[in-house]
Structure 1
Amino acid sequence: MAFVEFQNVRKEYHMGDTVISAADGVDFTVEKGEFVVIVGPSGAGKTTVLNMLGGIDSCTSGKILVDTREVSACTDRQLTEYRRYDVGFVFQFYNLVQNLTALENVELASQICRDPLPPRKVLRQVGLQKRMNNFPAQLSGGEQQRVAIARALAKNPKLLLCDEPTGALDYQTGKQVLQLLQQTCREFGRTVVVITHNQAFSAMADRIIRIHSGKVQDMTCNPNPVSAERIEW
């Protein structure tokens, strides 16, 4: 059985009499420890898929399984535990607590989970050993995103979900963040899912899932993923 399975997953929103289908029978699988890129144009349904996988949103029908657990059948309380213990989130905008230092932001996440990693160690792993006592306003965009990644990793999650993680960053800083995410996957065996509209990111993925108009257009496995530092866009 695959680590992640989406089986004919649909998500519908009702606006008065109008039904909007954000996910229209989505099927795909992900293996444990893979670096996965979900790519598609704006409005394709990528974020909807990521939110359902992360337990932020529920599906209208179909099945979502993660590590044999049927996430789509969870109660609200079970979903809260799933988000808390099993999933790390990295967003385009860093969502750091502004009046807490980098270390305190990471400690905050480590306090809510069962088996956290040491916050100082994780910050060193993302290259911020000299910035632990700085507040977000004293950090560059790339450094703030590194804190956000450290915060997600400190939870020791099964899944690391990243929504346009380089969207607010310049080209060079964006590449550094992608390298860090790829390194997280390779060195720590994390299953990392990145959603993006940038086709160039596909080259670094083990598995590429292309989504268009709420459907999976195709899913391909890449036998020779390249290092993030070699990607150009």
Structure 2
Amino acid sequence: MKDYVLFEKVTKHYQVGEQTIAATDNVSFSIEEGEFCVIVGPSGAGKTTVLNMLGGMDSCDSGTIRLDGRDISGLNEKQLTDYRRHDVGFVFQFYNLVQNLTAVENVELASEICRNPQDAKEVLAQVGLSERMLNFPAQLSGGEQQRVSIARALAKNPKILLCDEPTGALDYNTGKNILQLLQDTCRQTGKTVIVITHNLAITQMADRVIHFKNGAVSKMIINSTPVPVERIEW
């Protein structure tokens, strides 16, 4: 195993009026290839800022961010666009599907813009939607729409899957099903999956847990025996 994701002394400030806020302050951590990692902490702890910087949607003020040995923090705008397009799969709390496209068309949208895509129908089958791929988003449940959004991220064949509160808009049982799908994806494909959440219970299913507090890593835990999702309660 090797350090696949590496943050070294990463700081990001935001200007709010005359006040400067440190969203992340000298943050350092690593994640190994193929791990299921949960980043946890209260609102405003810096979790989403970390995700946005790793995903190439935001830049750091100082420090170094690497993915698979590549310095992401040193990329220009065009390079960042290519990086987001080819190397990163995003799953958000809200599904961001195109309403007038079917499930398979939504997934094909992503696969059309990258170098080495997976077949849209095959990926939808992998997430349990082989019978629903011709449905429009309005004809799908919240859990099914989130499955489409995961399939869309996976169809890009990215190096890493970044999930920001992926169960936040879902009921308890559907949320657990989505977490199971993400964990299965990590185990079966070897992809590195990072989930951001404020829900401490979810940390039990992770290989690595990174706790954030006040813009910094407060502790990091390696979990040698992750708990199956069905045994987790919250």
Provide TM-score, normalisation by structure 1: 0.99
Give ranges in structure 1 of 5+ residues lacking alignment.
Answer: none
Q: Deviations over 1:10-37 (max 9, x none)?
A: 0001123210110011110000000000
Partner of 2:152: 151
Partner of 2:184: 183
Partner of 1:142: 143
**Number of equivalent positions:** 233
Letter of the structure 2 residue corresponding to residue 120 of structure 1? K
Partner of 2:18: 17
List 4+ stretches of structure 1 deviating above 3 A: none
Partner of 1:207: 208
Give me the whole-angstrom Cα distance separating, in 1, the residues matched to 2:152 and 2:59: 24
Letter of the structure 2 residue corresponding to residue 174 of structure 1? G
Q: Deviations over 1:99-132 (max 9, x none)?
A: 0000000000000000000000000000000100
Give ranges in structure 2 of 5+ residues lacking alignment.
Answer: none
Letter of the structure 1 residue corresponding to residue 116 of structure 2? D
SS of residue in 1 equivalent to 2:125: helix
Letter of the structure 2 residue corresponding to residue 161 of structure 1? L
Partner of 1:106: 107
Give me the whole-angstrom Cα distance separating, in 1, the residues matched to 2:141 and 2:18: 46
In the TM superposition, what is the alpha-carbon distance from 1:171 to its structure 2 partner?
Answer: 0.2
SS of residue in 1 equivalent to 2:15: strand
Give me the whole-angstrom Cα distance separating, in 2, the residues matched to 1:230 and 1:165: 19
Give me the whole-angstrom Cα distance separating, in 2, the residues matched to 1:222 and 1:127: 28
SS of residue in 1 equivalent to 2:176: helix
Letter of the structure 2 residue corresponding to residue 15 of structure 1? V
Give me the whole-angstrom Cα distance separating, in 1, the residues matched to 2:57 and 2:230: 31
Partner of 1:82: 83
Give me the whole-angstrom Cα distance separating, in 2, the residues matched to 1:231 and 1:6: 30
Q: Deviations over 1:1-58 (max 9, x none)?
A: 5111000100001123210110011110000000000000011110000000100100
Matches within 5 A, 1:31-110: 31-110=32-111
Letter of the structure 2 residue corresponding to residue 129 of structure 1? S
SS of residue in 2 equivalent to 1:128: coil
Give me the whole-angstrom Cα distance separating, in 1, the residues matched to 2:184 and 2:158: 15
Give me the whole-angstrom Cα distance separating, in 2, the residues matched to 1:16 and 1:122: 45
Letter of the structure 2 residue corresponding to residue 164 of structure 1? E
Give me the whole-angstrom Cα distance separating, in 2, the residues matched to 1:16 and 1:227: 46
Partner of 2:227: 226
Give me the whole-angstrom Cα distance separating, in 1, the residues matched to 2:173 and 2:18: 46
Give me the whole-angstrom Cα distance separating, in 2, the residues matched to 1:231 and 1:120: 31
SS of residue in 2 equivalent to 1:145: helix
SS of residue in 2 equivalent to 1:4: strand
Give me the whole-angstrom Cα distance separating, in 2, the residues matched to 1:185 and 1:229: 17
Partner of 1:197: 198
Give me the whole-angstrom Cα distance separating, in 2, the residues matched to 1:53 and 1:134: 33
SS of residue in 2 equivalent to 1:28: strand
Provide TM-score, normalisation by structure 2: 0.99
CA RMSD of aligned residues (A): 0.6
SS of residue in 1 equivalent to 2:3: coil
Letter of the structure 2 residue corresponding to residue 119 of structure 1? A
Q: Deviations over 1:191-224 (max 9, x none)?
A: 0000000000110000000000100001110000
Partner of 2:30: 29
Percent identical residues: 67
